[in-house]
A and B are shown apart, each in its own frame.
Chain A
């Protein structure tokens, strides 16, 4: 078990690469940078493959058992030290390990993250060849790989959060890679801030779990959740899972926190492919899938996840219909596909959601890398209105992107078809039709997806050339380092889906079976789901397969219809073509083109930049208003009370001084002083005065007797 025991090395390869870049990168040759950074990821990938194959053997001997390696205890100990009080008043030791866990779920994530990551690193050596800050770019990419692998391999929520924050940081750094561009730095800030809102949810969820379960290790939490100690629908678990989902919404760009992802396209295209399409944005899905034991105990949270996912899917897809920036279309497509994944998780089809993450990683990375290749060929032009007719000029890019488009649109035989269809089928069949509305949304989204992807391909590779002559002259196919990853990804975009070939098509659903130990539900949860399941099963008994075939047929029809409509609308697009939606319903087009004015609404509601006169709008305005209210009304009242007290004090002091002391106390004193004056002069205290009185007395006596 050489490799399995050392899975903690996997994140350290790219960490080493990042460290080398940060300390010595500036002085290194490009070839050295390539060797270190790409080499680190290749090593991580090879190591992952070896460890994964060993894990398969391990699992064969210990069915359903995850493999854990505790490197060291990072915070607290198992026995004591840092204690905290659980919800029931009992003390629990707080501990967080630097521990790593390999099970089917993290294994799959590891494989595609290192695999796709490796391809994108190779691609970047070509794409970034002429850019400044080459070493910086690769340092960030490696740092990202380190964080992402930490997130995936963590065996507890705390270490997962470390990776979670790490990928957020790298996302920020890479979106703002062209930091001299104002739009890029603001987009980076936006991504960071919006993610922070989600992270707050994740943290609170984590605290709630610690408070309720007394541990943050996945295995402990799962064990307790399966123990039957907690009821289904437990309000605390519902709250915890909803908070975790807020975190997932931030990282995985779901309503209402999706706004950062489209702007994240300011980063270099390989970054969009790696971070904002294939890997990082699926972290939210991973976290929810990782916490599946909690989510199944909270049906309300599951419903929330499903509904948010479905709404995000159709919301983003509808915006994608009319965007003109090639990367922006793909960005909204990513948001929409992430919505699909959450829809799958929400209806309890965790395996289907993970399957879609897996296939999506390949075809969406391919689409982004392909769009990067197109932008490369177009000398930096990203606006599809200025493209067209590129198909025969950059054939490899065209063919591979076409494969990815067919995959994402859901054409049978390609990867996206199997995973997306699985999700739609699960949405239809779960909960006895309660979610059929969600299926309908998913179905409509599938139609839109086919249309906007068709539009992207037709406007870029078919139709009439609309670029300037200078650019047209420069169009060239990308170098090998860029096309080779495209071809490999195209291969996977076709065949990755066959891993999960469903029963109805003669497969064995191997993907879901492999994940079964992770998502195994205990008996009572199944029983709680039973009544609705039974009702559904009764109906489906007769036509499960026929139903599945019918739905499959419908979604295939939708895929072809979408692509066909796009072909019909745009195949002859020349300079100054009109959008069919703009022609048919201008207000709707305006609404979609401006992304439902969500950014503007947020601008009004949260950023505090909008003002009417001197009054700030939104939350900041509310804050300012509260502050004004506080400093003027509350403090004013306090001050008024103070003034009144002071006035009363002055009055009282005046009364005391002049009336009480002056009249009532000093008055009698003064009076007696006045009255006593005649008496007092007898005791003047001046000896000579006495003598004078005696003299006058004597004179008086003598005079009296003399003249009597």
Chain B
């Protein structure tokens, strides 16, 4: 069985990234959109960790930052979502258009 190379990681990461982008663009539920963003971020993390095999530990350190950032982003995003739900009683992203005009 052939050894797992960096390219394999990259492929998985690209697949995750594309799934995440599609989720962000197509799902109406903000919670799922946030989850898709997590997917995108984790795809990036996978890339960073994969490349740290070649260029040293910098990538892993950066991945920890990204994880922290993701946690913060999820906290803020869900906070906004709760505030929004209290006003409009909905979590659908296409109804978030108060600033349209």
Contacts and interface: CB of A to CB of B under 8 A. Distances in A.
A687 B100 contact: no
Interface in A677-701: 683-688, 691-692, 695
Interface residues of A, number: 9
B100 A685 contact: yes
B25 A685 contact: no
A691 B100 contact: no
Contacts of B96: 687
A692 B99 contact: no
A695 B97 contact: no
Interface in A139-171: none
A685 B93 CA distance: 10
A684 B96 CA distance: 11
Contacts of A683: 100
B72 to A, nearest CB: 20
Contacts of B26: 688
A688 B24 contact: yes
Contacts of A692: 25
Nearest to A684: B100
Contact of A691 (B25, B97, B101): B25
Nearest to B26: A688
Contacts of A686: 93-94, 97
Interface in A653-708: 683-688, 691-692, 695
Nearest to A685: B100
A688 B100 contact: no
Contacts of A691: 24-25
B2 to A, nearest CB: 28
Interface in B73-101: 93-94, 96-97, 99-101
Interface string A248-271: 000000000000000000000000
Contacts of B19: none
B99 to A, nearest CB: 7
B21 interface: yes
A270 to B, nearest CB: 105
Interface residues of B, number: 12
Nearest to A686: B94
Nearest to A687: B93
Contacts, number: 23
B97 A688 contact: no
Contacts of B24: 688, 691
A688 B28 CA distance: 9
Nearest to B24: A691
A686 B100 CA distance: 8
B15 to A, nearest CB: 16
Contacts of A684: 100
B93 A695 contact: no
Contacts of A687: 93-94, 96
Of A684, A688, A691, A692, which is in contact with the most chain B CB atoms at under 10 Å from its CB? A688
B93 A688 contact: yes
Contacts of A688: 24-26, 33, 93-94
Contacts of B33: 688
Nearest to A699: B21
Q: Classify the secondary structure of A's interface with B.
A: helix
A528 to B, nearest CB: 102
Interface in A296-336: none
A520 B49 CA distance: 150
Contacts of A685: 97, 99-101
A683 B98 CA distance: 12
Nearest to B37: A691
Contacts of B25: 688, 691-692, 695
Interface string B12-55: 00000000010011100000010000000000000000000000
A307 B100 CA distance: 103
A695 B21 contact: yes
A468 B96 CA distance: 122
A579 B53 CA distance: 161
A687 B26 CA distance: 11
B36 to A, nearest CB: 10
Nearest to B21: A695
A684 B101 CA distance: 9
B29 to A, nearest CB: 11
A688 B97 CA distance: 11
Nearest to A683: B100
A684 B26 CA distance: 16
A692 B101 CA distance: 20
Contacts of B97: 685-686
A688 B33 CA distance: 9
Nearest to A698: B21
A687 B21 CA distance: 13
A701 to B, nearest CB: 15
Contacts of B101: 685
A418 B93 CA distance: 128
B9 to A, nearest CB: 19
A685 B25 CA distance: 14
A684 B97 CA distance: 9
A686 B97 CA distance: 6
Contacts of B94: 686-688
A685 B33 CA distance: 17
A698 to B, nearest CB: 9
A686 B26 CA distance: 12
A680 to B, nearest CB: 10
A247 to B, nearest CB: 88
A688 B94 CA distance: 8
A692 B24 CA distance: 9
A425 to B, nearest CB: 115
A549 to B, nearest CB: 125
Interface in B55-78: none
A449 B66 CA distance: 145
B80 to A, nearest CB: 12
A686 B96 CA distance: 7
A497 B99 CA distance: 122
A695 to B, nearest CB: 6
Nearest to B98: A685
Contacts of B21: 695
B16 to A, nearest CB: 15
B83 to A, nearest CB: 16
A691 B101 CA distance: 18
A688 B23 CA distance: 10
Contacts of B99: 685
A687 B24 CA distance: 10
Interface of B: 21, 24-26, 33, 93-94, 96-97, 99-101
6 contacts: A684-B100, A685-B97, A687-B96, A688-B24, A688-B33, A691-B25
Interface of A: 683-688, 691-692, 695
Given A685-B97, A686-B97, 14 more contacts: A684-B100, A685-B99, A685-B100, A685-B101, A686-B94, A687-B93, A687-B96, A688-B24, A688-B93, A691-B24, A691-B25, A692-B25, A695-B21, A695-B25
* Nearest 5 Cβ contacts at the A-B interface: A685-B100, A685-B97, A692-B25, A688-B25, A687-B93
